[in-house]
Copies of this chain bind each other. A is one copy, B any other.
Amino acid sequence: MFRIGEFSKIAQTAVSQLRYYDRIGLFQPSHTDKFTSYRYYSADQLPDLNRILALKELGLTLDQIKRMVLDDVSAEEIRGMLSLRKAQVEQTLQEEVNRLRVIESRLKQVEAHGQMKQDDVILKSVPAQPFYSTRNLLPELFDGVSIMGELMQLVPKVVGQNKMSHLTAVIHGDAFQVEKADVEMGFLLNDAFDMPLLLPSGNEVKMRILPAEPQVISAVRIGPFENGFESYANLGRWVQENGFVINGPAREIFIDPPTPDSQETAVCEIQFPVKIGTPMLTS
């Protein structure tokens, strides 16, 4: 019989940990003195403890381990727990790989430019949402402004302020191209609204469901349209450096829409759907 200190040395396990396992009923000393409450462990408990430590190293929770070693649970159930855990590990493995790539690209950047810039690009997901919009081939991007004006004037009247979310544009053509842009403009909605609307300019506004995107990268631009080019460039660089590829039309969400007298404080979120690209050869 060993007292807790010696047993902890043999088993390479902290004393506090053994006491904790005792408390939660996961692994208890083979004998506890009734009067002094001293814990006494026997050598043949070592395999039991080692089994617990082995399962812990696989990343199972102590609750799961408790079920596996105390209740006797079927092989089928064990298989289930292990393959669930396997999936989790595969996922975090992927995440760590991404993380490492991003850290490396940031490090390169800091070493080259002596600064952290462009660090406002984040990866997120967006849900599907109704989109009340009109799509046009614009000779110049600038031509969209008049349509936006009409939308902001008329849509609230037919749809109602409270059902509307943000003014949004979806850029169907090449996002990095300015002439002959294929742009869809309108409002994201909180609820479906099926009635079409004809604008004075002749464009028809209709509802459709803008699909969910599991992975989009997002950057925020503040100020007038022209500032957008820098954000686009950042996003493009980020996609390249972090091994993604663009996977759908870009979206511009006008969180604080530009009005003639608030051009400088307008806020717009730019989103690109992406997916993981073929791995770079970073030899």
Interface residues of A (CB under 8 A from B): 10, 12, 42-44, 46-47, 50-51, 53-55, 57-59, 68, 75, 78-79, 82-83, 85-86, 89-90, 92-93, 96-97, 99-100, 102-104, 106-107, 110-111, 114-116, 119-126, 166, 218-220, 222, 255-256, 265, 267, 269
Contact = CB atoms under 8 A, between A and B. Distances in A.
Contact of A255 (B10, B51, B111): B10
Nearest to A221: B47
A110 B78 contact: yes
Nearest 3 pairs of A and B residues by beta carbon? A43-B267, A43-B256, A75-B114
Nearest to A124: B12
A271 to B, nearest CB: 11
Contacts of A86: 100, 103-104, 107
Tell me what chain A mostly uses at the interface: helix, strand, loop, or mixed.
helix
B89 A57 contact: no
Given A46-B255, A50-B220, 13 more contacts: A10-B269, A43-B256, A43-B267, A44-B265, A47-B220, A51-B120, A54-B120, A55-B119, A57-B102, A58-B103, A82-B106, A86-B104, A89-B96
A100 B90 contact: yes
Work out how many copies of this chain go into the complex.
Answer: 2
Contacts of A222: 44, 47
Contacts of A83: 107
A90 B99 CA distance: 10
Select the residue from A83, A100, A166 with max chain B CB neighbours within 10 A.
Answer: A100
A46 B102 contact: no
Q: Give the interface centre of A46, A51, A166 by most chain B CB atoms within 10 Å.
A: A46
